[in-house]
Structure 1
Amino acid sequence: MGIPAKLLGADERVVLSMRTHWKVTVVPVVLLLLTVAAAVTIVVLIPPGQYQQPVRIAVAVLALLGVCVYSLWPLLNWLASTYVLTDRRLITRQGVFTRTGRDIPLTRINDVSSERDVLDRILRCGTLVVWSAGEQGKIVLHDVPRVETVQRTIAELIFAAEDDDGETRRAPAR
Structure 2
Amino acid sequence: MAYPDDLLSSGEHVVIHKHPHWKMLIFPVFWLVVVVVLGIYLAGLVASLSWAPVALIVLAVVALVLVVWLTVAPVLRWRTTHFILTSDRVMYREGVFKRTGLDIPLGRVNSVRFEHSLLDRMLGCGTLVIESASDEPLEFDDIPSVEKVHTMLYREVNDNPSDDFQPRGV
Alignment of 1:138-157 (within 5 A): 138-157=137-156
Q: Secondary structure at the match of 1:44?
A: helix
Report the aligned-residue RMSD: 1.5
Q: Structure 2: how far apart are the matches of 1:6 and 1:47?
A: 55
Q: Secondary structure at the match of 2:143?
A: strand
Question: How much has 1:142 moved relative to structure 2?
Answer: 0.7
Alignment of 1:9-88 (within 5 A): 9-46=9-46, 48-88=48-88
Q: Structure 2: how far apart are the matches of 1:26 and 1:71?
A: 10
Contact between 1:2 and 1:83, CA under 8 Å: does it hold in 2? Answer: no
Q: Which sections of structure 1, spanning at least 5 residues, go unmatched?
A: 169-174
Equivalent pairs counted in the alignment come to: 166
Question: How much has 1:67 moved relative to structure 2?
Answer: 0.5
Contact between 1:2 and 1:18, CA under 8 Å: does it hold in 2? Answer: no
Contact between 1:13 and 1:87, CA under 8 Å: does it hold in 2? Answer: yes
Contact between 1:127 and 1:144, CA under 8 Å: does it hold in 2? Answer: yes
Q: Structure 2: how far apart are the matches of 1:47 and 1:99?
A: 44
Q: Structure 2: how far apart are the matches of 1:155 and 1:106?
A: 9
Q: Secondary structure at the match of 1:20?
A: coil
Q: Which sections of structure 2, spanning at least 5 residues, go unmatched?
A: none
TM-score, normalization by structure 2:
0.92
TM-score, normalization by structure 1:
0.90
Contact between 1:92 and 1:103, CA under 8 Å: does it hold in 2? Answer: yes
Aligned to 1:163: 162
Q: Secondary structure at the match of 1:61?
A: helix
Question: How much has 1:47 moved relative to structure 2?
Answer: 5.0
